[in-house]
Amino acid sequence: MRADGEGIYTRLTGHGTAHGTDLFDLHVIASVISLAAHEEPGSLAEGLGLEPFEVRALFLELFPGAIGMIGEPAAKSRPLSNDERALRDIFWHASAQGGTFARLLARIMARRCQRPNHLWQDLGLGSRRELTLLMARHYPQLALRNANDMKWKKFLYRMICSSTGFSLCLAPLCSECDDFDDCFGPEEGDNILARLRNDRPAPHSGAGR
Ligand code: SF4
């Protein structure tokens, strides 16, 4: 898919979205596709953490009228890291729904967690509030567990860390850890798609890891 100036988001949402699909879900997926297409113009599948046939399934599910926008599939997807594999499991097991969309969304979320900014930014969303809504709707168990409003990527990696005996964290208790300020607090930053629309480079803040 070419990330051209016409605006992938507008083309996706204006090209025959699937009847009855939730508008918020359409917005989330159109946003992440727009950003992933900019980052990986040669392979949307890579940016979304999906196999090419799964990208097709995603379009058939949400944007059937825009299926022609998918380019040639890349030859091979890169192998998954252990973290990404663990994140896929976390999202899938916490998913409020089953089915194709839930499975694909879990994979997309896990791949976007590999990017360097806050999770809401790396999903191409407009604000952290949108991510809060997404988590409450699709991953209510995780939303409940993150009652202390930890930064989302930190929260998810903390889950992985706890399953490996806290081998990554500096302390078993966040309250006793020197990195506390880095893991909690507001997830502020720019809307990446808005930056790109204004010909500003995407940030690479490292704020999300
Ligand atoms: S505050 Fe420390 S212990 Fe808690 S998640 Fe962050 S690094 Fe791990």
Domain borders along the chain are 8-69, 82-197
The residue nearest atom 7 of ligand 1, judged by CA position, is: 169
Q: Using the predicted structure, report yes or no on whether residue 196 has a pLDDT greater than 50.
A: yes
Distance from Cα 208 to the centre of ligand 1, integer Å? 13
| Beta-bridge partners for 184 | 150
Give the three-state DSSP class for 184: strand
Q: Using the predicted structure, report yes or no on whether residue 5 has a pLDDT greater than 50.
A: no
Amino acid making up residue 144: L
Q: Model confidence over 81-90: pLDDT tens digits? A: 999 999 999 9
Model pLDDT, residue 95:
97
The set of protein residues with a Cβ atom below 6 angstroms from ligand 1 is 154, 158, 169-171, 174, 177, 179-180, 183
pTM across the whole model: 0.89
CA terminus-to-terminus distance, the chain: 28
- Four-residue CA torsion sign, 175, 180, 183, 184: positive
Distance from Cα 165 to the centre of ligand 1, integer Å? 13
**Whole-angstrom distance, CA of residue 30 vs CA of residue 154:** 25
Give the three-state DSSP class for 122: helix
Q: Which of 59-68, 73-82, 139-148 has the lowest mean pLDDT?
A: 73-82
